[in-house]
Structure 1
Amino acid sequence: MRDENRKGFAIGLMGGIGSGKSFVLEVMEKEYGFKIIKTDDVSRNQMQPGEAVFNSVVEAFGEGILDEEGFIDRKKLAGIIYADDAKRELLDELTHPPVIEEVDRQIRELKEGEVLVAESALIVDCNIMDHFDSIWLVEAPLEDRLSRLTGKRKITREHALSIMENQLSDEEYEKHADEIIKNPDFKDVNDKFMMRNMAVDFVMKQLQALKEKYGL
Structure 2
Amino acid sequence: MKVIGITGGVGSGKSEVLRLLEEKFNCGVIRTDDVARSLCEPGEKSYEMIVKVFGKEILDREGNLDRPKIASIVFEDEEKRKALNQCTHPQVYEWVRNKVREWRTENRYSMIAVEAALMDELKEIGVCESCWYVHVKPEIRRERLRISRGYSDEKMDAIFASQLPESVFFNGCDVVIDNNFDLENVEKQLISLCK
- TM-score, normalised to structure 2's length? 0.93
Identity of aligned residues (%): 36
Larger Rg: 1
Is 1:82 matched with 2:75? yes
Contact 1:124 1:176 (8 Å CA) reproduced: no
Deviation at 1:85, TM superposition (A): 1.2
Contact 2:6 2:134 (8 Å CA) reproduced: yes
Counterparts in 2 of 1:109-120, with a 5 A limit? 109-111=102-104, 112=107, 114-120=110-116
| Compared CA separation, residues 69 and 47, structure 1 to 2 (3 A) | same
- Partner SS, residue 110 of structure 1: helix
1:180 match: 176
- Tell me, in whole angstroms, the C-alpha distance in 1 between the residues paired with 2:149 and 2:137: 17
- Partner SS, residue 57 of structure 1: helix
Counterparts in 2 of 1:101-140, with a 5 A limit? 101-111=94-104, 112=107, 114-125=110-121, 127-128=123-124, 130-140=126-136
2:150 match: 154
Gapped regions of structure 2 (runs ≥ 5): none
1:207 match: 190
Deviation at 1:130, TM superposition (A): 4.4
- TM-score, normalised to structure 1's length? 0.84
Is 1:39 matched with 2:32? yes
Gapped regions of structure 1 (runs ≥ 5): 1-7, 186-198
Amino acid at match of 1:128: E
Contact 1:28 1:34 (8 Å CA) reproduced: yes
1:163 match: 159
- Tell me, in whole angstroms, the C-alpha distance in 2 between the residues paired with 1:24 and 1:114: 16
Is 1:57 matched with 2:50? yes
Which residue of the other structure, out of 29, 45, 48, is the alignment partner of 2:41?
A: 48
Deviation at 1:125, TM superposition (A): 4.8
Deviating 4+ runs (over 4 angstroms): none
- Tell me, in whole angstroms, the C-alpha distance in 2 between the residues paired with 1:161 and 1:33: 37
Deviations 1:10-40 (A, max 9, x none): 1100011111101111111111121111111
Amino acid at match of 2:20: V
Contact 1:14 1:21 (8 Å CA) reproduced: yes
- Tell me, in whole angstroms, the C-alpha distance in 2 between the residues paired with 1:126 and 1:32: 21
Structure that is richer in helix per residue: 2
Deviation at 1:52, TM superposition (A): 1.2
RMSD of equivalent CA atoms: 1.5
